[in-house]
Amino acid sequence: MPGIDIVRSVADLRGRVRAWRTQGLTVALVPTMGALHQGHLSLVAAGLSRADRVVASVFVNPTQFGPNEDFDRYPRQEEADAALLAGAGCHLLYAPTAAEMYPAGFATTVTVAGLSDGLCGAVRPGHFAGVATVVAKLLLQCLPDIALFGEKDFQQLKVIERMARDLDIPVAIAGVPTHREPDGLAMSSRNRYLSPDERRIAPALHRTLTEIAAALRAGRPAGEACRTAAADLIAAGFAAVDYVEVRDAATLAPAERLDGRKLRIIAAARLGNARLIDNIGVEP
């Protein structure tokens, strides 16, 4: 089994990236919180297809978790992650400590107004400020040519695109399509919170999104289709639906009908101890 080099400090990361740059090599960054699955490995594969070297970061970022969320029980498995990354052809694992990322006296927060406010931002106050801050730091620490993020976290992707553009961070931000289980469930590190019974129920989330897409294509309004979908999720066994909405794919503004724009149907719902999110695109 091939190994992978691990660096834990900004100085060591920059040293490695600098050495590649002097050889004229391009660099991709795949930021993660670890507990890696095939979805993450598809980000590494996309990075390998677009750059000469791929760095994956693994950092469970405390500032993007609310006080009653799953920071403490979020799975941590560095050895397994390192082996998966090595097997996927990733060149370097950056696994900083919390003290390296947030040294004593750390006082800066990056907030992206508007895009951060609704959907997950409404249910998880401060979450996207935590994400934008840590991703801004990761981008500036590594300064890759391209950074890759999964479309499963669609609102996160939009927030990061805006943040990088607004702060003139010279990095291309790329979204990679969601990797799904054969039954449609979006791959997520949090799927491991599901009991076997809940795992059987979970694909209903993706199914209801495809039903909303069909309703929109049939000319039905989004509000009615989303209300039906939320009721279907509860009937399927979900404990609560945080939101099911149709939004403009570029601006995340609410959309009521398929009217020529690219739309995104986006949902978050609770099942047992897991909060699942998913989204799909729909175009005319």
The least distance separating ligand PAF from the CB of residue 140, rounded to whole angstroms, comes to 14
The least distance separating ligand PAF from the CB of residue 264, rounded to whole angstroms, comes to 17
| Contact flag: residue 42 with ligand PAF (CB under 6 A) | no
Is residue 91 annotated as a catalytic residue, yes or no? Answer: no
**DSSP letter for each residue of 19-66:** HHHHTT--EEEEEE-S---HHHHHHHHHHHHH-SEEEEEE---GGGS-
* Nearest CA among 228, 231, 238 for reference residue 197: 238
DSSP secondary structure code for residue 189 in this structure: G
Smaller CB separation from ligand PAF, 31 or 203? 31
Smaller CB separation from ligand PAF, 39 or 225? 39
DSSP-derived 3-state class of residue 259? coil
Smaller CB separation from ligand PAF, 61 or 255? 61
DSSP secondary structure code for residue 254 in this structure: B
- CB-count exposure of residue 170 (10 Å: 0-12, 13-18, 19+): exposed
* Residue of the chain from 100, 145, 153, 278 that contacts ligand PAF (CB under 6 A): 153
Spot the catalytic one: 37, 40, 127, 179. 40
C-alpha–C-alpha distance, residues 53 and 190, integer Å: 28
Residues 17-36 that bind ligand PAF (CB under 6 A): 31-33
The least distance separating ligand PAF from the CB of residue 131, rounded to whole angstroms, comes to 5
| Contact flag: residue 47 with ligand PAF (CB under 6 A) | no
C-alpha–C-alpha distance, residues 172 and 159, integer Å: 14
The least distance separating ligand PAF from the CB of residue 64, rounded to whole angstroms, comes to 6
- Residue 10, strand partner residues: none
Q: Is the dihedral of CA 205, 206, 210, 212 positive or negative?
A: positive
Smaller CB separation from ligand PAF, 154 or 238? 154
Residues 52-91 that bind ligand PAF (CB under 6 A): 61, 64
Contact residues: ligand PAF, CB under 6 A? 31-33, 61, 64, 131, 134-135, 153, 156
Residues acting as catalytic residues: 40
